[in-house]
Amino acid sequence: MKSDFTEGSVSQQLLHFSLPILFSNLLQASLLLITGLWVGNLLGSAAFAAVIVSTSIVVVLLAFVMGVNNATLTVFAQLKGAGNEAETRSYLSAFTILLTGLSLVIGLGGYVLAEPLLALLNTPASIADTAQQYLQVMFIGTLFLTGYNFIGSLLRAFGDSRTPMYFVLLATVLTALLNPLFIAGLNMGVAGAAWAMILAQGFAFIYSLYYLAGRSEIGLPAFQLQWPKSAEIRTILQLGVPSGIQMIVIYAGMTVIMAMVNNFGEDVVAGFGAAQRLDNIILLPAIALGAAVNAMAAQNIGANQWPRVGQITKVGIIYNLGAMGAFACVLFIWAEPLVTLFISDQGSVAFGVSYLRTIALFYPFIGLNFILNGVVRGAGAMFQILALNIISLWILRVPLAYWMISLYGEIGIALGIGISFLISSLFSIAYYRWGGWRSKQLFTDRACQ
């Protein structure tokens, strides 16, 4: 795959670059699904509940370190576009030291504080011990998870999205194979499921290191460990901190929406849960396109090729409208059979179908947010993206959902969320068009601009 996005056909590059990201996201999503299926079938519903509770804690505590990892894409893509090998080598060392330190601190802290964290979530006593076992093992593997995700982001920044897909594929296959062996074969229970996942991620991390060691053709300079400069730490944190906070903002907003849904009883909750599972799959193409335009725009911003950044944005919007429009049509036609893949109760199915057919009308707008915010993120304007997400979730989505529910009852859930997609896309358009993100400078070295 061509790694230089500063020349060539934008439409072909975006398509070829985004597809492996899409498959990687699908594989990543399947990791937790595979673990849940094995645990639920081999150990029962109580063990499954313990894994669900533990996973929610892991996701929140890793939000910051994964936010710092997300900064990898923008920083190295800009440096790739600028052709600055010395800065690339220096930032590679800085990211390695910072992410390793953060992973160890969070892993140790999560391991030690597992019991009080579970108590904070009011975890039922019947599953608390099981959840603690799973949680502590998962925190042991924090470095592996961070490591192979960092190398994957680094390769995408240099234009290679296919190889990181193989890393995730390896982790997924090993997770599927090791789970029954550890859970039932070695009789390790829920802890075995956690060990299966972190060992799978560990092998993926080792393979990614091996791959990097033998691949100089992608343009990465030889690794040289050196103490990071204060300017490098400042740049990484300026990008990583808002990304981490953004993750927390998103999860907190989703929790509030879920609390509103819970008020309508188990039929609506089940229908909403089924619809959300489909939502998570349907939005993956928009997420992949957003990540792709992030890397492509960042390379061209680093090379100071602004007209090409505009082309990337236009092609990304066109692809988004096509993909999200197609999914909207699919949902209108096949909403009911899709929902019944997860649930069968008539009341739950009816709500899930109604929700999906309503929210489908607004899919192109949420996809538009991913594209425009991905381009802006390529310039390094992370605080601005954080502000847009706060507006989208806390100023628009939560209040609108509450208002629509008060007017129309359970039907208002989809209306409120969908209208927030529409209005938040207008904010994203406005900031893309008139905001100051184009003047953002990540590096003190002017050669990188």
Gyration radius from the chain CA atoms: 22
Q: For a pLDDT cut of 90, what percent of the chain falls above it?
A: 41
Residues 6+ apart with CB under 8 A from 350: 271
Where along the chain do its domains lie?
10-228, 235-448
Phi-psi region of 258 (alpha: psi -120 to 50; beta: other; left: phi over 0): alpha
Highest-confidence segment of 214-223, 254-263, 294-303: 294-303
Contact 25, 288 (CB under 8 A): yes
For 61-70, 227-236, 438-447, which range has the lowest pLDDT when averaged over its residues? 438-447
pLDDT of residue 418: 94
pLDDT at residue 388 is higher than 80: yes
3-state DSSP assignment of residue 158: coil
Asked if residues 358 and 372 have their Cβ atoms less than 8 Å apart, the reply is no
| 13-27, 76-90, 258-272, 398-412: least confident range | 258-272
Closest CA to 338 of 349, 347, 348: 349
Residues 395/376, Cβ–Cβ less than 8 Å: no
* pLDDT of 99: 87
Distance, in Å, from the CA atom of 401 to the CA atom of 232, rounded to the nearest integer, reads 41
Tell me the CB-side half-sphere exposure of residue 234, using CA atoms within 13 A: 7
Rounded to whole angstroms, the Cα distance separating 157 from 159 reads 5
Query: Which residue, among 66, 35, 58, has the nearest Cα to 121 in the 3D structure?
Result: 58
Residue 257 reports pLDDT greater than 50: yes
User: Which is more confident, 49 or 112?
Assistant: 112
Position 267 scores a pLDDT of 80
- Residue 127's alpha-carbon distances to 41, 47, 110, 114, 138, in angstroms, are 17, 7, 18, 13, 16
C-alpha distances in Å from residue 49, one per residue of 7, 29, 36, 54, 128? 50, 18, 9, 9, 10
For residues 112-128, average pLDDT: 81
| pLDDT (mean) for 245-251 | 80
pLDDT band at 444; cut points 50, 70, 90: low
48-91: pLDDT as tens digits: 777 877 877 787 777 777 777 778 888 888 988 888 888 888 88
Tell me the whole-structure pTM to 2 decimals.
0.87
The DSSP code for 122 is T
How much is the pLDDT for 376? 95
Comparing 27-31, 297-301, 316-320, 358-362, which segment has the lowest mean pLDDT?
A: 27-31
The residue among 212 and 205 whose pLDDT is bigger is 205
**Position of tokens 């030690």?**
112
Please identify which residue in the block is written with the tokens 């061209």: 300
